[in-house]
């Protein structure tokens, strides 16, 4: 049972770790666009959505290999621990 709790804890940590770069980029771009819109009083809906979409896709393209390697490494770890989980 301890092994299962450990794997669940590691999986939650991994989810936070691999989702942090796109979420933080969306937050940063969202704040910058909001400041720009407040400064210029330009309230266009696509102006807030398009830059966030492009920046998150860019971060995912750059961080994709790292995210994939983290997920594969964790999957191998879970499969290695599988006999201990079944007991």
- Nearest-angstrom CA–CA distance, 81 and 7: 9
Kindly report, residue by residue over 38-78, the tens digit of the pLDDT: 899 888 877 888 999 999 999 999 999 999 999 999 999 99
d(C-alpha 56, C-alpha 58), whole Å: 5
**Phi and psi for 57 in degrees, rounded to 5?**
-65, -35
- The residue ranges of every structural domain in the chain are 2-86
CB 85 within 8 A of CB 3: yes
pLDDT digits (tens, 9 = 90+) for 12-36: 999 999 999 999 999 999 999 999 9
């Amino acid at each position: 049972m301890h092994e299962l709790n450990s794997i669940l804890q590691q999986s939650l940590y991994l989810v936070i770790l691999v989702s942090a770069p796109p979420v933080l980029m969306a937050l940063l771009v969202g704040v910058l666009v909001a400041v720009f819109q407040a400064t210029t009083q330009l309230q266009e809906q696509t102006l807030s959505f398009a830059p966030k979409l492009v920046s998150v896709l860019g971060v995912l393209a750059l961080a994709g290999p790292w995210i994939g390697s983290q997920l594969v490494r964790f999957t191998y770890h879970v499969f290695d621990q599988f006999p201990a989980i079944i007991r």
